Amino acid sequence: MLIFLLKTILPRNMKVIFKWLLLIGTVCYFIYLVDLIQRQPSAFFIFDQHQSQQQQKYGQNDITQTVVTIDRELFDYLVVHLHDTEYDGVDNYIRFMTVFKGLKPLPGIESLVPGMGPVVNDMSQFQHYPINLVPCPSSSSNSSNQSRSLFIGVISGPGNFERRATIRRTWHVHLNKNQQNKKSNKNALLDLLRFAFVIGQTNDSVVQQQVKDESEKYGDILQINMMDKYVDLSVKLTGLFHWLDTFCSRVDYVLKVDDDVYVNVHNLATVLHSLNVSEPSVYGRQCGGNIPDRSASKWKTGFEHWPWQRFPIYFQGAGVIIAGSAVRPILSAMQVTPYFIWEDMYLIGLCAVKAKIQLRTSDRIFVDMPDNPVDPCFIGDNVMWTTDSADVMNASHFASHNQFYDNKLQPSANVQQCNSSTQPAVEFPFGYAQQN
Ligand SMILES: *[C@@H]1O[C@H](CO)[C@@H](O)[C@H](O)[C@H]1NC(C)=O
Ligand SMILES: *[C@@H]1O[C@H](CO)[C@@H](O)[C@H](O)[C@H]1NC(C)=O
Ligand SMILES: *[C@@H]1O[C@H](CO)[C@@H](O)[C@H](O)[C@H]1NC(C)=O
Ligand SMILES: *[C@@H]1O[C@H](CO)[C@@H](O)[C@H](O)[C@H]1NC(C)=O
Ligand SMILES: *[C@@H]1O[C@H](CO)[C@@H](O)[C@H](O)[C@H]1NC(C)=O
Ligand SMILES: *[C@@H]1O[C@H](CO)[C@@H](O)[C@H](O)[C@H]1NC(C)=O
């Protein structure tokens, strides 16, 4: 109406100027909206047609600036203009994804560590474990100050029976040796409170029964109340953290490994002893690339999961050590941080950063597919590595056994040929990963 009036009143050249002004105004508003989505998505009331046309407010309560009402389609359209912009930190991820996924803060639920922000991930499903473990013994304060208490969680799938069997007959044997030493008060480096394979649920009742039988036989299965799917590993991890917070809260360290990883138990103990036990940090190996893969590969990260140009720093998730004192802060961050498809990014790049946990990195803590996993120099220097078969797992194990437990080889003879250190694994220096 106003435009029509102006059109008839204004002279011709004024009309042209007016059109331009209108266009420039529209463009500026558009840029403003895109910028607002980037910085302050919680400023949006999204008009949701499916919910009786009610407006919903998302995000933190302390936002005082203008609230913009747009509909979902326009929001989604504007979001496209975020693609390949700079990532602006975890709080921005949280605000953006909460609005983008339409998550609603759970009423009346406060984060475990107060002040983290609105809780969007429901933890109540994790109060029930289809297969549970015996809780960790309360911290053995009596144990000598030489040992470090440890929980080991091996992330596994319900159907991975073979991989679990391989681990039980390889590096788990060294854990048992350690525990026997502990019982007989001999040079026990670790105080293993619990060891568990962490699996989700399957809707295949035959597999489920086999898993139950396996649990009865070995007592080392923790089943999380969620369907076991690759893209939901972040949910599974959250279930594990919930268990740790509830049943194993006084442990010094948590080791989280995948079921294709060989753990050099001797070097693990050396690492844990070299760490400051009162430092709430996570320890792992920093990933090299931080550009999301947009191709059609298995590792594809769609723009709907991550619109920004770069990932923050994160660790390779297949072998990570978490200080016990970091478990609760990270779990609390998990309550407020929308799930992400890649659990290593979720755990380290998002939740640990949100919880302000220090990220400590070393290239020797974890190696992805080493060329020669039986080389004594390699075995002497590294803590964990991935294997591509049960044979490689077995070969690594025998090499490690010879190196550290059997005295079949003369360590010094081997070590002299090694490049990196004068003695195997006396020190594992960790650097500080820069956070963003
Ligand atoms: C603590 O250690 C001492 C000596 O090994 C032992 O006699 C005692 O029973 C232990 N106490 C507990 C509570 O385990
Ligand atoms: C344990 O700690 C005490 C005091 O900090 C120290 O005197 C003692 O030597 C330590 N014991 C061992 C076995 O290291
Ligand atoms: C349940 O099993 C069916 C058939 O095996 C499969 O297609 C479906 O994806 C499974 N559902 C879940 C949630 O895993
Ligand atoms: C160990 O960590 C705690 C907590 O961060 C710190 O206060 C203390 O100074 C550290 N000790 C050493 C020896 O670095
Ligand atoms: C593992 O390797 C050892 C030594 O090479 C060999 O004797 C043993 O048969 C292997 N075990 C399996 C299950 O492959
Ligand atoms: C020592 O380093 C050289 C050059 O980096 C490498 O080719 C060689 O394999 C290393 N030797 C051992 C025993 O690691």
- % helix / strand / coil in the chain, to the nearest 5? 40, 15, 40
Say how many Å lie between the CA of residue 368 and the centre of ligand 6. Answer: 18
Nearest-ligand number for the alpha carbon of 378: 6
The fold of the 125-432 domain, in CATH, is Spore Coat Polysaccharide Biosynthesis Protein SpsA; Chain A (3.90.550)
Check pocket membership of 279 for ligand 4, CB cut-off 6 A.
Answer: yes
Say how many Å lie between the CA of residue 142 and the centre of ligand 1. Answer: 6
pLDDT, tens digit, 9 for 90 and up, residues 25-44: 888 888 888 887 777 776 66
Per-residue confidence band for 8, with pLDDT thresholds at 50, 70 and 90: low
Say how many Å lie between the CA of residue 187 and the centre of ligand 2. Answer: 14
Residue 199 β-bridge partners? 223
The Cα 12–Cα 158 span in angstroms is 75
Nearest-ligand number for the alpha carbon of 140: 1
* Domain parsing of the chain, residue ranges: 2-49+61-82, 125-432
Check pocket membership of 187 for ligand 2, CB cut-off 6 A.
Answer: no
* CB contact at 8 A, 401 and 383: no
Can you say how many angstroms the Cα of residue 388 is from the centroid of all Cα atoms in its chain? 22
Mutation pick for ligand 5 pocket among 163, 166, 398, 408 (CB with most ligand atoms within 8 Å):
398
Check pocket membership of 398 for ligand 5, CB cut-off 6 A.
Answer: yes
Check pocket membership of 203 for ligand 3, CB cut-off 6 A.
Answer: yes
* CB contact at 8 A, 196 and 219: no
Pairing of strands 358-361, 281-284: parallel
The answer on pLDDT for 49 being more than 50 is: no
Check pocket membership of 389 for ligand 5, CB cut-off 6 A.
Answer: no
Check pocket membership of 146 for ligand 2, CB cut-off 6 A.
Answer: yes
Please, what is the Cα angle at 73 between 71 and 77, to 5 degrees? 120
The answer on pLDDT for 123 being more than 50 is: yes
pLDDT, tens digit, 9 for 90 and up, residues 395-415: 999 999 988 887 655 454 455
Q: Which atom of ligand 2 is nearest to the CA of 146?
A: 14
Residue 192 β-bridge partners? 150
DSSP states of 280-323 as a string? -EEEE-B-S--S---SSSTT---TTT--SS-----B-TTEEEEE
Nearest-ligand number for the alpha carbon of 144: 2
pLDDT, tens digit, 9 for 90 and up, residues 277-330: 889 999 999 987 789 999 888 889 999 899 999 999 999 999 999 999 999 999
